[in-house]
Chains A and B, each alone.
Chain A
Amino acid sequence: MTESAVTDPTTALLDVEGLTKRYSGLVALSEYELRLAPHSIHGVIGPNGAGKTTLFNLLSGMVQPTAGSIRFGGVDITAHAAHDVARAGIARTFQNIRLFGDMTAIDNVKVAVQQRLPISLAMTLISSPSYRRNEADVTEHARPILDRMGLGAMADRQASSLPYGDQRRLEIARAVATNPRILLLDEPNAGMNPTETAELLDLIRRLRDELGLTVILVAHDIPLVMGLCDRIQVLNHGELIADGPPTTVRNDPDVITAYLGRASDA
């Protein structure tokens, strides 16, 4: 299952140029640039309304950009529909958890796993050998993913009945189940206490190391990104105001004014 490492680390896995989104007058994101190194953990921070979620919606194809381009593994995916972006290998979670609430935890993962298999109505109705093999395959792949997230015991629970932290992890499990190369995490620690957050950081590192994933993380929790990320970008009012390793960004005067300013006033 593990993707082999991209051979040439100088090639960007994701190459974003001039990405811009305007909503009739409001510029949600302006001239965003990114060259994402494979196997890195990349942080995007910024105050509320800075354009972080817009960025994720653009990268995952949920929203079409006004201008700019997104190249993934050398392929231009700017105009791809969201489900094609997901199939190409970019998975995401949402700031407000979006699970399939009526379905069981395992079914939430299975429905993501099955996307790499062909499904036809005719094969389903006659319960053909290939159909049954596929279903068995899906179950076989889904179980370990739940186990990895520590949700093995919750497999048959209805997703909406799970505790909050488990729901967050189930959403990550579902994203991982699509077998992505890039995982976009939108405020994954929102609503979590420090212990849960620490566990989450550990989980994200393990996903990177064990599955060979590249992670982009949106957060407004500064300590979280500082400790975890290889590189950090700071957005403010839709514009990129800083970009570099955590130590550089932490000391950037623009960042301190725009984002940390309030902290130093206090």
Chain B
Amino acid sequence: MSALRIPRRTLVLLLAASGTLALLQLSGLAFWQGLAINFAIFIILVQALNMASGFTGVFSLGHIGFMAIGAYTSAILTLPLATKSEYLPNLPGWLAGIHLDVAVGPLPVGFFAATLVAGLVAMVVAGLVGAVLMRLSGHFVAVATLGFLVIVRVVLFNADDITRGSRTFSNVTPYTNLWWAWGWAVIAIYVAWRVKFSGLGRAMFAQKADRWAARSIGISILRPRLIAFVAGAFLSAIAGSLYAHFITSFSPTVFYFDLTFRVITMLVVGGMGSVSGAVIGTALVLALAEALRRIEGATLLYGLGGILLAVFFIAVIIFRPSGIMGQREVDLDRVLGWRPRWRRGRPDAEPSRRG
């Protein structure tokens, strides 16, 4: 038996998604392609925050900081040598010589490697930061992680030699396409799903529910929290790398409160702790934001979108504080009409007899 048994419903979903992507790719509809890539990047960000905050109850406001680290790391690593010496002349020697712009045939393996390195760098930073911050709870940890976000921004602004400071960082090769973005989004969903329905996930949710009780059965609070924080940082950095190579020019101002609250809105709307909810919340908020943007354009009432989105968020908090899904999951079998029964337990506990 292979180590990775893929249930039939998952396989069907993956095939359907691949087919949709292929059609979208062939259609040449640039607007929809861009939206689909945005959707994928947001899914990764929301799943990252879902693990770090939704699973553990530790409210992190700092994950966009890891996205920034990922974006800059990957962008610097993939710059071709010629561009690099001209564009970032004061880079430290060891960094100036690296150019992960290599490709094997049509496959930009350099981009893949740079994305992984970006993720690892964020993981190391998260390990150091988290070892201190994950001991805090409640408001304290929210404020402390917000502090981390501010620190990242200040460093990016002032590390001129490496990041060009407040000037726009451009000339990034546009590697990100539908396949890269969705490939990573699928991985992010898989990671969150696996963790949620594992012993690790149980420990995370247990200490979220009651720290005293968790300690009383031998759970060291720090460990599951730190693992979630670090894994979330990795995924955020991946999203950062994809974003950098999608948008191709950016500055530190992008990675701040706006984006932080956009991602939090998506997670809260979907349901903190629900993997499928995170995808639903992302889709909903993204669609709403896009619709509002068009209304703004038509009515010339600029700023209206932001206000309405905030009102929507407040309404969700008041009327459905645990989001659309709470901590539950969509039952794929039921959605696909295979087994008309709402199952609340652990969907992956046993291989489906039909799968």
Tell me if B203 and A119 are in contact (CB < 8 A). yes
A112 partner, pick from B209, B218, B221, beta carbons under 8 A: B218
Tell me if B212 and A100 are in contact (CB < 8 A). no
Tell me if A128 and B3 are in contact (CB < 8 A). yes
- For window 43-57 of A, CB contacts with B under 8 Å fall at none
**Residues on B with beta carbons closer than 8 Å to the beta carbon of A107:** 202
B24 proximal to A (CB < 8 A): no
Report B's interface with A, CB cutoff 8 A. 3-5, 191, 194-195, 198-200, 202-203, 205-206, 209-210, 212-221, 227, 231, 327, 344-345
A62 to B216, CA, bound (A): 8
Tell me if B212 and A111 are in contact (CB < 8 A). no
**Residues on B with beta carbons closer than 8 Å to the beta carbon of A99:** 209-210, 213
Given A99-B213, A127-B4: A104 in contact with B219 (beta carbons within 8 A): no
Report A's interface with B, CB cutoff 8 A. 60-62, 81-84, 86-87, 91-92, 94, 98-104, 107-108, 110-112, 114-115, 117, 119, 121, 124-129, 131, 134-135, 138, 156, 158, 174-175, 177-178
**Residues on A with beta carbons closer than 8 Å to the beta carbon of B194:** 124-125, 127
A134 to B215, CA, bound (A): 21
Tell me if B217 and A104 are in contact (CB < 8 A). no
Interchain pairs with CB closer than 8 A, number: 108
Tell me if B198 and A124 are in contact (CB < 8 A). yes
Minimum distance in angstroms from B106 CB to a CB of chain A: 28
Tell me if B345 and A156 are in contact (CB < 8 A). yes
Given A112-B217, A135-B199, A138-B199: A102 in contact with B227 (beta carbons within 8 A): no
**Residues on A with beta carbons closer than 8 Å to the beta carbon of B195:** 121, 124-125
Tell me if A134 and B217 are in contact (CB < 8 A). no
Which B residue's beta carbon lies closest to that of A184?
B216
A175 partner, pick from B217, B219, B327, beta carbons under 8 A: B217
**Residues on B with beta carbons closer than 8 Å to the beta carbon of A104:** 345
Tell me if A119 and B327 are in contact (CB < 8 A). no
Minimum distance in angstroms from B13 CB to a CB of chain A: 18
Q: List 27 A-B contacts (CB under 8 A).
A: A62-B215, A83-B218, A86-B215, A86-B217, A98-B210, A98-B216, A101-B209, A101-B210, A102-B205, A103-B202, A103-B209, A104-B345, A112-B218, A115-B217, A117-B199, A119-B199, A119-B203, A124-B199, A125-B195, A127-B4, A129-B3, A138-B199, A156-B345, A158-B344, A174-B213, A175-B216, A178-B217
